[in-house]
Amino acid sequence: MSGSSEGFSEAERAYLTTQRLGRLATVDPAGQPQANPVVFFPQDDGTILIAGYSLGRTKKWRNLLANPKVALVVDDLVSVQPWHVRGVDIRGEAELLTGPHDLGPNLSEELIRIHPRRVHSWGLAEAGG
């Protein structure tokens, strides 16, 4: 296991580039957590972009307007014999963006940029990680 407040390690960057689906956690105005599966795109500057089909009309977008604190968990199960899970937990602040981008066709112009403040990972150094 590793933890950092200095950005992503090489192993974390490599793992994130092999994955496309994560779970984004936000907090609603009543203080209740909400987690949703999202498509994400690691960026060369150390941030993560979240895209969607109608992102600006979602509850997660409204939650982030009120509270920019966010967590993104990306993980997978490599094998069950032996048991091997791996993943990255990214905590940080969200920046809401609107405008053209080239992340994919049919994705809305709204994007969430995550600025990582704390990164924790597990299982990346073992078999294939």
Q: What is the pLDDT of residue 7?
A: 84
Would you say residue 36 lies in a domain? Answer: yes
CB atoms within 10 A of CB 1: 8
Residue 46 placed within a domain: yes
Q: Tokens for 4?
A: 């950092």
Give yes or no for residue 1 having a pLDDT over 90: no
Where b means 16+ CB within 10 Å and e means fewer, 23-51 reads: ebbbbeeeeeeeeeebbbbbeeeebbbbb
- 40 in any annotated domain: yes
Position 107 in a domain? yes
Domain containing residue 92: CATH number: 2.30.110.10
> Using one digit for the tens of pLDDT, what is the confidence trace for 7-53?
899 999 999 999 999 999 999 999 999 999 999 999 999 999 999 99
Q: What is the spatial distance between Cα 43 and Cα 73, in angstroms, rounded to a whole number?
A: 16
Reported pTM: 0.89
- Which domain range does residue 11 map to? 2-122
Give the pLDDT confidence of 56-104 residue by residue, as tens digits.
Answer: 999 999 999 999 999 999 999 999 999 999 999 999 999 999 988 988 8
CB atoms within 10 A of CB 63: 23
Chain-centroid distance of CA 69 in Å reads: 12
The answer to whether the CB of 91 falls within 8 A of the CB of 66 is: no
Is 118 among the domain residues?
A: yes
Rounded-to-integer distance, Cα 97 and Cα 115, Å:
13
Q: Residue 11 falls within a domain, yes or no?
A: yes
Element (H, E) at 71: strand 69-80
